[in-house]
């Protein structure tokens, strides 16, 4: 219904930055009109939804790294590479609905096939999907990591054309496979796919056109070039070497100094099967690395890689938040990382990730305190997307 004033009330409010008590979020036309933390009575004509003294109001969560077109099955790569467009679009539609039910109201899709997330954004109404910041197919080398998504480009002319194509199509971010990956047959995570000059060219053109730039990188040897090229977010940041994981403190310090966002690949169901024995050997050192990155003061955001395999279903973000607390991140910082900080990382500052006048009314209502126990993020009483209740 239009022009109806909705008052969401709860005993506690996390507004994206800080915590307040006895809050009321006033919603009109899908947008937050006001947030009251004084306990004042809502306007008389408002429709009041009071979730009670134990409940928490939070901004809807943001997953900074997802794959809507991937079905989270054992053969996710084969399906996204070979299924017909309508089948992939159905997969993406289901994935989007699953995320919304988990309280994930904004996602940054960092690898679709053939720009299908843009079709999804157009065809599916807002209340049935999260807000989508789309990269389209990642830019990669011929036969390189995730080449089957349709984003192969090499050499200055092709790279510039690839960035411009994404801007014209309505993407808001460019994703580049700076080095190889674990899931593509024939790709080696340690192999650098583009040199510094190419990476710079892509980032500069993206920024010139008002797009942000995200770099996929596991390889320790490639991270320095990614930092130097000026990427806004670094995905994975895993410091893989031939000998395992080896954090380079000077690179982490530089990321902190420059304020680059680190999109940490957290969130997985138990029993995750590594894609190869090499990957298995490498990822043994991941918990220690993640703990160090979290403690460094870097601007960390959770990017789950949801969709790529069975351990990463599309609604895995709440698990990622629980894992971040296990890695030593204070609960309040975990909440910030998946709301206001993530909004900044994905280019939605002020509109998403905050409960503040003027922001979109994407609201998550929990039954208990996530500060006391982060598993409360799975105790969902309601989800609102653009002011409409979707759960
Ligand atoms: Zn990914």
Cα distances (Å, whole numbers) of residue 211 to 156, 163, 203: 18, 9, 9
**Ligand 1 center from residue 31 Cα (angstroms):** 31
**Cα distance between residue 24 and residue 1, in whole Å:** 20
- Which pTM was predicted? 0.97
Total count of domains within the chain: 2
**Ligand 1 center from residue 44 Cα (angstroms):** 48
For the chain, give the longest Cα–Cα distance.
66
**Ligand 1 center from residue 67 Cα (angstroms):** 7
Assigned domain for 1 exists = no
Based on the fold, state whether residues 217 and 231 are members of the same structural domain: yes
**Cα distance between residue 387 and residue 389, in whole Å:** 7
**Predicted local confidence at residue 345, as pLDDT:** 98
User: Beta-strand (E) ranges in 253-343?
Assistant: 261-264, 299-302
**Predicted local confidence at residue 22, as pLDDT:** 87
Assigned domain for 122 exists = yes
Assigned domain for 285 exists = yes
Task: Note the pLDDT tens digit of each residue in 79-105.
Answer: 999 999 999 999 999 999 999 999 999
Based on the fold, state whether residues 94 and 113 are members of the same structural domain: yes
Assigned domain for 362 exists = yes
Domain CATH code at residue 175: 3.20.20.140
Based on the fold, state whether residues 165 and 198 are members of the same structural domain: yes
**Ligand 1 center from residue 284 Cα (angstroms):** 19
Instruction: Show the domain range for 76.
Output: 61-346
CB 21 within 8 A of CB 36: no
User: Beta-strand (E) ranges in the chain?
Assistant: 6-14, 19-28, 31-36, 47-50, 56-59, 61-66, 104-109, 131-134, 173-177, 212-219, 233-241, 244-245, 261-264, 299-302, 363-366, 380-385, 388-389
Based on the fold, state whether residues 208 and 176 are members of the same structural domain: yes
Assigned domain for 305 exists = yes
Q: 228 is written with which tokens?
A: 């130097």
**Ligand 1 center from residue 112 Cα (angstroms):** 10
Based on the fold, state whether residues 18 and 110 are members of the same structural domain: no
Lowest mean pLDDT among 198-212, 239-253, 272-286: 272-286
Task: Note the pLDDT tens digit of each residue in 13-56.
Answer: 999 999 998 899 999 999 999 999 988 899 999 999 999 999 99
Lowest mean pLDDT among 160-164, 179-183, 363-367, 383-387: 179-183
Residues near ion ligand 1 (CB < 5 Å) are: 305
Based on the fold, state whether residues 50 and 70 are members of the same structural domain: no
Based on the fold, state whether residues 55 and 69 are members of the same structural domain: no
Based on the fold, state whether residues 25 and 118 are members of the same structural domain: no
Based on the fold, state whether residues 196 and 297 are members of the same structural domain: yes
Does the pLDDT value for residue 2 go beyond 70? no
**Ligand 1 center from residue 66 Cα (angstroms):** 6
Assigned domain for 12 exists = yes
Partners of 179 in beta bridges? 192
**Ligand 1 center from residue 175 Cα (angstroms):** 9
Task: Note the pLDDT tens digit of each residue in 215-249.
Answer: 999 999 999 999 999 999 999 999 999 989 999 99
Does the pLDDT value for residue 211 go beyond 70? yes
Based on the fold, state whether residues 158 and 191 are members of the same structural domain: yes
Based on the fold, state whether residues 124 and 265 are members of the same structural domain: yes
Tally of CB atoms within 10 A around 83: 16
**Ligand 1 center from residue 192 Cα (angstroms):** 17
Mean pLDDT to the nearest integer, 63-91: 96
Based on the fold, state whether residues 359 and 215 are members of the same structural domain: no
**Ligand 1 center from residue 265 Cα (angstroms):** 9
């Amino acid at each position: 219904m239009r022009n109806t004033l909705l008052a969401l009330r709860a005993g506690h409010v996390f507004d994206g930055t800080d915590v307040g008590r006895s809050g009321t979020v006033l919603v009109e036309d899908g947008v937050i009109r006001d947030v009251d933390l004084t306990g004042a009575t809502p306007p008389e004509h408002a429709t009041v939804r009071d979730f009670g003294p134990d409940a928490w109001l939070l901004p809807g969560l943001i997953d900074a790294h997802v794959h809507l077109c991937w079905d989270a099955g054992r053969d996710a790569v084969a399906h996204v590479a070979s299924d017909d467009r309508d089948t992939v679009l159905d997969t993406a539609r289901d994935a989007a609905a699953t995320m919304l039910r988990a309280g994930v109201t904004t996602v940054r899709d960092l690898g679709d096939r053939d720009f299908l997330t843009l079709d999804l954004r157009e065809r599916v109404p807002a209340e049935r999907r999260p807000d989508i910041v789309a990269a389209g197919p990642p830019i990669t080398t011929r036969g390189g990591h995730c080449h089957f998504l349709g984003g192969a480009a090499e050499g200055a002319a092709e790279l510039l054309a690839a960035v411009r194509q994404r801007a014209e199509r309505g993407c808001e971010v460019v994703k580049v496979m700076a080095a190889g990956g674990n899931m593509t047959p024939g790709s080696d995570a340690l192999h650098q796919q583009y040199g510094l000059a190419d990476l710079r060219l892509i980032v500069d053109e993206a920024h010139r056109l008002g797009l942000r730039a995200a770099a996929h990188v596991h390889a320790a040897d490639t991270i320095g070039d990614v930092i130097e090229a000026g990427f806004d977010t670094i995905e994975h940041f895993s410091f893989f070497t031939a000998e395992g994981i080896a954090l380079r403190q000077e690179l982490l310090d530089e990321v902190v100094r420059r304020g680059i966002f680190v999109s940490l690949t957290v969130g997985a169901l138990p029993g995750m099967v590594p894609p190869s024995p090499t990957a298995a050997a490498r990822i043994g050192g991941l918990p220690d690395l993640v703990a160090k990155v979290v403690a460094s003061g870097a601007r960390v955001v959770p990017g789950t890689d949801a969709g790529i395999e069975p351990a990463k279903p599309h609604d895995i973000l709440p698990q990622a938040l629980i894992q971040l607390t296990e890695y030593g991140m204070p609960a309040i910082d975990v909440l910030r990382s998946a709301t206001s900080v993530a909004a900044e990382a994905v280019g939605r500052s002020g509109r998403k990730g905050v409960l503040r006048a003027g922001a979109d009314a994407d609201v998550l209502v929990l039954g208990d305190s996530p500060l006391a126990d982060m598993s409360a993020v799975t105790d969902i009483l309601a989800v609102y997307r653009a002011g409409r209740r979707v759960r």
